[in-house]
Structure 1
């Protein structure tokens, strides 16, 4: 891969983190553009025509999962790495199904992101852990799966989970436990 001729689009609503990544990839010889919203990202993808994209899962007004589909529709050859601070198995699987080549958690630095792009296909060969998930982690994973099944509709997910909408929002706003 000839890095000096690669264009990368970084999509993250955290402006500081986005700026740090842009600077790091520019120093590595990439042409870099950034976007903080889904709409900006779609516009930049049309104008900038990136070869690679780093997409945050949670954007202020939308999901990065929807953005993967839109970017792939515009250019099937684009390589996409999904980046998130709220990892779940359900969203990782969905991101890969939609066309992301890898799914990594924040805070990831430029070297970790480049390593994810270097992998030919998503890492689905990981051996299962010998330690079972905690009850809190299983609950987090289940809420994420139901939310994904409801296309991000919090009210519908809360109905299916038999809980109040605000309770679900509060639980989803917390970072998940590791195990």
Structure 2
């Protein structure tokens, strides 16, 4: 018996590849949506898991976590994002996500998260770089001010435009 899996992401190439790979395992039946609101408009049926992008066009995936949990009652609701930060991870988990992955995530990593197995036996702990620490701090302060750029810039002691430039850059990655 296959496990129903829902993928909500506005990247059509990514969803097509993931749907094909999950279906090919023989363990999953996959439904894809380009918006969380579209998924919520579909009939409510229990599912095994939901892979939810954090930034879906003009929607913020974090805002739909509890509604998706109620609508589909998944065992796993995994947030996937290219804008990972500690603040958004904490917010996602508080709202009901069962896991959080930074993109790009490997297919094997997704399988491990869905099946509850560790991704690897060795975990490397590297200290944050200065750029990563700054990014995390900005994200935390931004979350504290409910995404208000002006109030966040004031709290950080920087010009609003400088903060906007920093936010437009991609988050620094660990090397």
TM-score normalized by the length of structure 2? 0.81
Gaps of 5+ in 1: none
Q: 2:170 aligns with which of 157, 169, 175?
A: 175
State the Cα distance separating 1:47 from its structure 2 match.
4.3
The structural deviation recorded for 1:165 is: 4.0
CA distance in 2, matches of 1:42, 1:160: 37
Could you tell me how far apart the structure 2 residues matched to 1:171 and 1:27 are?
41
Shift of 1:154: 3.7
Match of 2:100 in 1: 103
What is the deviation of 1:104? 1.4
CA contact (8 A) 1:102 1:117 kept: no
Deviation of 1:160 after TM superposition, in Å, equals 3.5
Q: For the residues of structure 1 that align with 2:30 and 2:132, how far apart are their CA atoms?
A: 36
Matched, 1:36 2:34: yes
User: 1:80: how far off?
Assistant: 0.7
- TM-score when scaled to structure 1? 0.79
Q: Cα RMSD between the aligned structures?
A: 2.8
* Within-5 A mapping of 1:89-100: 89-100=86-97
Equivalent residues of 1:101, 1:117 under 8 A apart? no
1:156, CA displacement in angstroms? 4.1
Query: Counterpart of 2:114?
Result: 117
The answer for unaligned runs of 5 or more in structure 2 is none
1:82 aligned counterpart, secondary structure: strand
Q: Aligned equivalents of 2:39 and 2:64: distance in 1?
A: 8
1:5-24 equivalence runs, <5 A: 5-24=2-21
Distance in 2, Cα, partners of 1:16 & 1:150 = 34
Structure 1 residues 155, 55: CA separation in 2 closer, same or farther (over 3 Å shift)? farther
Matched, 1:86 2:83: yes
C-alpha spacing 1:5/1:132, structure 2 compared with 1 (3 Å): closer
Select the residue among 45, 52, 56 that pairs with 2:53: 56
Alignment coverage as a number of residue pairs: 171
Contact residue 2 and residue 29 of structure 2 kept, 8 A: yes
Q: CA deviation at 1:133?
A: 2.1
